Structure 1
């Protein structure tokens, strides 16, 4: 069983992340973006994309030269409602945020904007970008493709990535709807979390390298494969994201994306300003009514309530903001090694 090492405040974790990336050679503004992104993932309970899981991989990628600390980000193509960026192998968390900000600003002026990005590293938790978009009262889409680890429906060899996407619909604060999902049954990073905790994963998530169903996370990590969610329908979405974020942006498809936990294919962000279609307050009123209708739906047997996409993460965020972020021994130990190596002391636990 996993051993809980303690809890850490989001403020302490942010400072540690910021200090560590500064020591690594990341610029001040970029280090703030990276630290904010990682801590937000942990606060929302998306620990697979948080500091303890991702930092060791990001640091290793920088040292290997696969992440460029001083990229020359280029606006390759530009029009009022579409743009393409070349990230020059920079930190995906930073460059994808630049693309998102550009999409928002253009959407505010022209109604909608799509920004594609190629040549980047891992972009992290996609909800980070759609959360930013709903804060600016625009409907947001973010999608990315990743290295092949998912079998196509009916196949026995990995051809597609987990290829996640996120859609955000603005309302008010916690009422905003944030869908963030892999098109595989589960994000690969979540299996890492299960492995680090010493837990079995649910059946139906993955196959081992011999194509047999397994609940052992290590069997997946040792050359196994993920399954698409929802059978052929999930496979269709998985393929669509590979085309949308990969081929459309001039990035590799999943089979061409390098392996590794810091690698990524392409990224795409779209923002739609609601007020170009109808008055925002009318939209907001109808969204609140729709949410009321969904939340008032009687729960089925075995359920306590009907939840909205992103509602669990929003609740987890509030709890961890107040009570702290859980820390487990193995991830803490791995991060401690990185901190010692860079001369950054580990933060105190609560």
Structure 2
């Protein structure tokens, strides 16, 4: 296992962005990728942070990721739009979509953007937190390749499709829930493999559908809450595959296994909801703060953003 190297985040940001620019990535795209990776690692989610840069560079070199996308946004109603992101980095796609959702919400009260022709989304919190900065509730979703062991079966059909919600709070970091619909994400499994660690029980299965704690053998993941987690994956798949016109489940090329010149055609969905359409914003944010501290006194676990 390689020894960890510690760098100031600003220094690492400059380093990553320069690598992307030298690889031919357009400046605005490189900015969002860098910001997304750094923010995610600083939030303690290294599985979806800086450690993925080498994979992205391989996908870029192979032709899977488009470094110079030609975006096409079609507003379909006062509050909705379809966004073709031309197979660019998911970080750029998601952030551009979040900004469009915010603009739609400012006019219509809510904004909903369906994203298609995309690549790996990164951490969904990056986009929801951006929306929360504008005193709105942000939600973001993405589909993934088939990873979850079918409930009661031996093969995967749905991905561990992530769900994220961020809510602004008075004087504190926003509340943010960013979770996959599996017990552990596949990128977290890959991180365990990279670090030579055994997995906890109940996380993954091998190619024969047998539970394993060997991170190298995992090809399927266990859904959260049994059939309920599988149902949540279906819900996200409807938003991110059916509404976007993108492939679903087993028809999505795998992140690490598919040839890196093969486009993945991933779909995402981003939502912005104006709080002031329901409650006076300052009152809501103060109540959210009181709620957060009340919750801390009841539950014996730490919620990121509250007092840390």
Q: Under a length normalisation based on structure 2, what TM-score does the superposition of the two structures give?
A: 0.93
Residue 200 of structure 1: how far off its partner (Å): 0.6
Question: What is the Cα-based RMSD across aligned positions, in Å?
Answer: 1.7
Number of the residue aligned with 1:281? 282
Which one scores higher on RCO, CA 8 angstroms, separation ≥ 6? Answer: 1
Kept in 2, the 8 Å contact 1:184–1:226? The answer is yes
What CA distance in whole angstroms lies between the structure 2 residues aligned with 1:253 and 1:13? 36
> Structure 1 residues 264 and 126 mapped into 2: Cα distance closer, same or farther (>3 Å)?
farther
Counting helix residues as a fraction of each chain, which structure ranks higher? 1
Secondary structure at the counterpart of residue 90 of structure 1: coil
Are residues 1:212 and 2:187 paired?
A: no
> Structure 1 residues 169 and 207 mapped into 2: Cα distance closer, same or farther (>3 Å)?
same
Kept in 2, the 8 Å contact 1:145–1:264? The answer is no
1:128-151 Cα shifts (integer Å, max 9, x gaps): 111111111100110000001112
Are residues 1:51 and 2:40 paired?
A: no
Residue 4 of structure 1: how far off its partner (Å): 3.3
Secondary structure at the counterpart of residue 250 of structure 2: helix
Structure 2 gap segments, 5+ residues each: none
Residue 13 of structure 1: how far off its partner (Å): 1.1
Kept in 1, the 8 Å contact 2:150–2:156? The answer is yes
> Structure 1 residues 133 and 77 mapped into 2: Cα distance closer, same or farther (>3 Å)?
closer
What CA distance in whole angstroms lies between the structure 2 residues aligned with 1:292 and 1:50? 29
The structure 2 residue matched to 1:254, chosen from 208, 226, 249, is 249
Are residues 1:29 and 2:24 paired?
A: no
Residue 264 of structure 1: how far off its partner (Å): 6.0
What CA distance in whole angstroms lies between the structure 2 residues aligned with 1:267 and 1:17? 25
Deviates more, 1:169-178 or 1:66-75: 169-178
Secondary structure at the counterpart of residue 13 of structure 1: helix
What CA distance in whole angstroms lies between the structure 1 residues aligned with 2:47 and 2:82? 28
Secondary structure at the counterpart of residue 5 of structure 2: strand
Number of the residue aligned with 1:186? 184
Number of the residue aligned with 2:229? 234
Structure 1 gap segments, 5+ residues each: 300-304, 316-350
1:247-275 Cα shifts (integer Å, max 9, x gaps): 11111112221112484620000000101
Kept in 2, the 8 Å contact 1:92–1:123? The answer is yes
Equivalences for residues 1-350 of structure 1 within 5 A: 2-52=1-51, 54-172=52-170, 174-220=172-218, 224-261=219-256, 263=264, 265-297=266-298, 305-308=300-303, 310-311=304-305, 315=308
Residue 3 of structure 1: how far off its partner (Å): 5.0
What CA distance in whole angstroms lies between the structure 2 residues aligned with 1:44 and 1:117? 25
What CA distance in whole angstroms lies between the structure 2 residues aligned with 1:285 and 1:180? 22
Secondary structure at the counterpart of residue 85 of structure 2: strand
Secondary structure at the counterpart of residue 32 of structure 2: helix
What CA distance in whole angstroms lies between the structure 1 residues aligned with 2:33 and 2:113? 20
> Structure 1 residues 243 and 41 mapped into 2: Cα distance closer, same or farther (>3 Å)?
same
Q: Under a length normalisation based on structure 1, what TM-score does the superposition of the two structures give?
A: 0.82
Between Structure 1 and Structure 2, how many residues are aligned? 302
Residue 172 of structure 1: how far off its partner (Å): 3.1
What CA distance in whole angstroms lies between the structure 1 residues aligned with 2:203 and 2:305? 23
